[in-house]
Structure 1
Amino acid sequence: MSLNKRNFIKLSATAGASLPLFSIGASKTAMEDLRVGCIGMGRMMYWHVNGFMQRCRLVAVCDVDKNRREAERDRVNAHYGNRECVAYNDYRELLARDDIDVVCIATPDHWHATIVIDAARAGKHIYCEKPLTHDIDEAIRVMKEVKKAGVVLQTGSQQRGMKEFRVAAELVRNNVVGKVLEIKSDFWGPGRPFDLPEEEMESGLDWNRWCGPGPLNHYNSKLSPRGVHDFFPMGWRNAVEYGGGGICDMGAHHLDIIQLALDMDKSGPVKALPPAGGGNGYGAKLVYEGGLEVTREKGFMVDFICENGRIQASRGKFRFELDGKVIHKFLEPSDGSLAREVVLTEREFLADAEVKLPVQKKGGHTQNFLDAIVNGTQPMVPVEAGARSAICCHLMNLSYYHQQPILWDPEKLKFSDKSCDPAWLAGSRRDYLKA
Structure 2
Amino acid sequence: MWRKDSKPEKMMESLAERIFVYKELIKIMKRRTFLRDVGIMVAGASIIPMNSGCGWKNPNNLITIGMIGVGSHGVGRNLSHYLKYPELCRVVAVCDVSMSRAISAKNLVNNTYKSKDCKVYQDFRELLENKSIDAVQISTPDHWHVPISIMSALKGKHVCCEKPTLTIDEGRLLCDVINKTGVVYQVSVEDRFLPTYHKMAEIALNGRLGVLRHIEISLPINLLPKKGLEVTIPPKDLDYDLWLGPAPEIPFIYSRTFYHFRWYNAFSGGLLTDWGAHYCDTAQLVTGNEFSGPLEVTPAGETLYYNDGIFNTAYQFDLQYRYANNVTMRVASGNCLIRLEGDEGWVKSSGWINKLAASNDKVLDLTEKKVVLPTANDEFINFLESIKAGRKAIYSAESGHRTSSLLHCGNIALKLNRKVEWNPLNESFVNDPEAEKFRKREMREKWSYSKICPGYKY
Give the distance between the partners of 1:182 and 1:30, measured in 2 at CA: 53
Aligned with residue 392 of structure 1, among 381, 388, 406: 406
Say if 2:287 is the partner of 1:253.
Answer: no
Say if 2:330 is the partner of 1:301.
Answer: no
Task: Identify the residue that residue 127 of structure 1 maps to in structure 2.
Answer: 160
Q: Cα gap change, 1:401/1:149 in structure 2, threshold over 3 Å: closer, same or farther?
A: same
**When the two structures are superposed, what TM-score results if normalisation uses the length of structure 1?**
0.78
Deviates more, 1:260-269 or 1:75-84: 75-84
- Aligned-residue offset at 1:61: 0.8
Give the distance between the partners of 2:229 and 2:420, measured in 1 at CA: 29
Which SS does the other structure have where 1:41 is aligned? coil
Task: Identify the residue that residue 38 of structure 1 maps to in structure 2.
Answer: 67
Say if 2:171 is the partner of 1:146.
Answer: no
Task: Identify the residue that residue 206 of structure 1 maps to in structure 2.
Answer: 239
- Aligned-residue offset at 1:285: 2.0
Give the distance between the partners of 2:302 and 2:266, measured in 1 at CA: 26
Which SS does the other structure have where 1:317 is aligned? coil
Task: Identify the residue that residue 336 of structure 1 maps to in structure 2.
Answer: none
Indicate if the aligned counterparts of 1:215 and 1:241 stay in contact, CA closer than 8 A: yes
Give the distance between the partners of 1:128 and 1:119, measured in 2 at CA: 11
Report matched runs for 1:80-119 at 5 Å: 80-119=113-152
Report matched runs for 1:384-423 at 5 Å: 384-418=398-432, 420=434
Give the distance between the partners of 1:32 and 1:318, measured in 2 at CA: 40
Q: Which runs of 5+ in 1 are unaligned?
A: 4-11, 20-28, 226-232, 329-343, 422-435
Give the distance between the partners of 1:150 and 1:75, measured in 2 at CA: 32
- Aligned-residue offset at 1:81: 2.4
Q: How many residues align?
A: 370
Deviates more, 1:76-85 or 1:236-245: 76-85
Q: Cα gap change, 1:149/1:204 in structure 2, threshold over 3 Å: closer, same or farther?
A: same
Indicate if the aligned counterparts of 2:299 and 2:317 stay in contact, CA closer than 8 A: no
Give the distance between the partners of 1:142 and 1:148, measured in 2 at CA: 10
Structure 1 residue ranges (4+ consecutive) displaced by more than 3 angstroms after TM superposition = 12-16, 29-32, 188-192, 276-280, 297-300, 318-322, 418-421
Say if 2:79 is the partner of 1:49.
Answer: yes
**When the two structures are superposed, what TM-score results if normalisation uses the length of structure 2?**
0.74
Say if 2:107 is the partner of 1:74.
Answer: yes
Give the distance between the partners of 1:15 and 1:375, measured in 2 at CA: 35
Give the distance between the partners of 1:278 and 1:100, measured in 2 at CA: 45
Indicate if the aligned counterparts of 1:405 and 1:419 stay in contact, CA closer than 8 A: no
Give the distance between the partners of 2:201 and 2:388, measured in 1 at CA: 28
Task: Identify the residue that residue 230 of structure 1 maps to in structure 2.
Answer: none
Report matched runs for 1:3-42 at 5 Å: 33-42=62-71
Task: Identify the residue that residue 317 of structure 1 maps to in structure 2.
Answer: 354
Amino acid corresponding to residue 380 of structure 1 in structure 2 = I
Let me know the Cα RMSD of the aligned residues.
3.0
Q: Deviations over 1:305-343 (max 9, x none)?
A: 111111112322344545xxx327xxxxxxxxxxxxxxx
- Aligned-residue offset at 1:270: 1.6
Deviates more, 1:138-147 or 1:284-293: 284-293
Task: Identify the residue that residue 340 of structure 1 maps to in structure 2.
Answer: none
Q: Which runs of 5+ in 2 are unaligned?
A: 1-28, 33-40, 49-57, 305-313, 436-458
